[in-house]
Amino acid sequence: MASDTGVETIAGELLDQALAERRALVQLCLYALDRARSSGVVERLEEGLAGIGVTALRPDGERFDPSRHEAGGTVPTEDPSLDGVVAETEVVGFADRGRTLRAPVVTVYTAR
């Protein structure tokens, strides 16, 4: 008869394996998303990822935050209220249950 410690060890090993496999599958999906040519495929992959807690990050219209966003470029604006606001997401970012997997690369408005 297996001891409780032995069962717990096996369960822990199986959990670790499942989590490692999940991480690998999420990374594979992100790789596929970056290369997808069809908007339908992109939408389906994003829906599937969202179903397991991995969400797309598109911060358009938000204030630029260098701790959460990567600046890919700037675009001038005449509107001073837009200075420092994300104009466009160049590369979609992703978070897994709130933990950033990849920061979004964004274009930021800068006042002239």
74 lies in the same domain as 48 = no
Going by pLDDT thresholds of 50, 70 and 90, the confidence category of residue 4 is confident
8 A C-beta contact, residue 9 and residue 3: no
Cα–Cα separations (whole angstroms), residue 23 to 26, 89, 96, 97: 5, 24, 10, 13
Whole-model pTM: value is: 0.84
Q: Is 53 helix (H, G, I), strand (E, B) or coil?
A: coil
Q: Which domain holds residue 31?
A: 1-52
Token digits of residue 48 = 């599937």
13 lies in the same domain as 67 = no
pLDDT digits (tens, 9 = 90+) for 61-86: 999 999 999 999 999 999 999 999 99
62 lies in the same domain as 79 = yes
- Please report which helix (H) or strand (E) contains residue 22, including its range: helix 4-35
Going by pLDDT thresholds of 50, 70 and 90, the confidence category of residue 2 is low
48 lies in the same domain as 65 = no
* Sheet of 99-102, strands arranged across: 54-57, 93-96, 99-102
What CATH number does the domain containing 83 carry?
2.30.22.10
Chain length of the chain: 112
Q: How many domains does the chain have?
A: 2
Question: Is a pLDDT exceeding 90 seen at residue 1?
Answer: no
